[in-house]
Chain A
Amino acid sequence: AQSVTQLDSQVPVFEEAPVELRCNYSSSVSVYLFWYVQYPNQGLQLLLKYLSGSTLVKGINGFEAEFNKSQTSFHLRKPSVHISDTAEYFCAVTPDILTGGGNKLTFGTGTQLKVEL
């Protein structure tokens, strides 16, 4: 089984400041990792994904994440946030296909990013 921990339930940050949203996971098998964003009253949008290869993954809207296998982390970063980045961010994992997984996403509890002027 997999589990995902998002340590920060809320992260306030001023506009144009950098931000890091933390995600740690636990799994006995290899996993794929995802970050989703959910704006108020909307569905989830895929920000970025890590499957294999380069540990630094770039996504949409200027976000990037770094996979660290030894620390079982997949933290999300943005060098300069905008008011429009205010949203809920979910980290998620799924076992890789070779271990029989793929259809069940395990989500973290979410981090509310609040960007202030």
Chain B
Amino acid sequence: DTEVTQTPKHLVMGMTNKKSLKCEQHMGHRAMYWYKQKAKKPPELMFVYSYEKLSINESVPSRFSPECPNSSLLNLHLHALQPEDSALYLCASSPQRTSGSHEQYFGPGTRLTVT
């Protein structure tokens, strides 16, 4: 099973709302990622969790707050977003090996619209 699930599929929120995106994987992967993707562009890395600890934060604004409650779950809490934050938010996971690669498996994404 190489599936990463994300909920919701679509989300419309106002600039004063608080919402959360959820991601789940059951592949035993110990690294999980959040990406932001604008139309016609490659994904941009936001955060990486390795063994449930935040290991990479790509200077993301504090209105995005990640959380990794356990090795299978990853959340992205959203607060006071701006219209320019509208995008496809992708979650990914990968194994953490001592050899070989950390190939990443992506979920279907959450299409976020900020009004």
Contact = CB atoms under 8 A, between A and B. Distances in A.
Interface in B73-115: 90, 92, 94, 96-109, 111
Interface residues of B, number: 31
Nearest to A98: B99
Given A103-B55, A104-B45, A108-B42, A42 B109 contact: yes
B99 to A, nearest CB: 6
Interface in B44-96: 45, 48, 50, 55-56, 90, 92, 94, 96
A42 B101 contact: no
Contacts of B107: 43
Nearest to B91: A43
B62 to A, nearest CB: 22
A108 B43 CA distance: 10
A17 interface: no
Contacts of B98: 97
B48 A103 contact: yes
Contacts of A108: 42
A86 interface: no
A67 interface: no
7 contacts: A45-B106, A94-B101, A94-B102, A104-B48, A105-B104, A109-B41, A109-B42
Interface of A: 32, 34, 36, 41-46, 49, 51, 90, 94, 96-97, 102-105, 107-110
Given A46-B103, A97-B98, A103-B102, 15 more contacts: A32-B101, A34-B103, A44-B92, A46-B104, A49-B101, A90-B42, A94-B101, A97-B102, A102-B102, A103-B31, A103-B55, A103-B56, A104-B45, A105-B104, A110-B42
